[in-house]
Structure 1
């Protein structure tokens, strides 16, 4: 491993484009995962870094739905 992971924009020819909001989330996830992976010094795989970053991002996003409905 070279230790210099850089997320790159892949050619998306033939793939549907993401909505701008979804692309922004994907870009942020990629950025956070790459940073976490680099800071781990080899302790995390990139897949683990993506999983942790996604979990943290989900925990940071405002929750919508049935939270108040459960409190009856």
Structure 2
């Protein structure tokens, strides 16, 4: 099994999350890291996070390209 542990909770310049949101973020991060490790590099980090969020029933934030917005 993967020994992933989330990093420091309050990084410089980022607001601290509510305990419920932090727990959700930690679980999402853990699941995404596990999925990526199990995929032997087939999944990118972004793909692993999106898949983990989908499996957890969380709506992932949409990027500009997904919205049809080009830079």
TM range (shorter): 0.5 to 0.7
Q: What TM-score, normalized by structure 1, do the two folds share?
A: 0.65
Figure out how many residues of one structure are paired with residues of the other and give that number: 55
- Greater relative contact order (CA < 8 Å, ≥ 6 in sequence): 1
Deviations 1:11-42 (A, max 9, x none): 51232110000000000000000000000011
Q: What TM-score, normalized by structure 2, do the two folds share?
A: 0.66
Question: Counting helix residues as a fraction of each chain, which structure ranks higher?
Answer: 1
Structure 2 gaps, min length 5: 59-71
Supply the RMSD in Å over aligned alpha carbons: 2.1
Is this contact kept in 2: 1:34–1:49, CA < 8 A?
yes
Structure 1 gaps, min length 5: 60-72
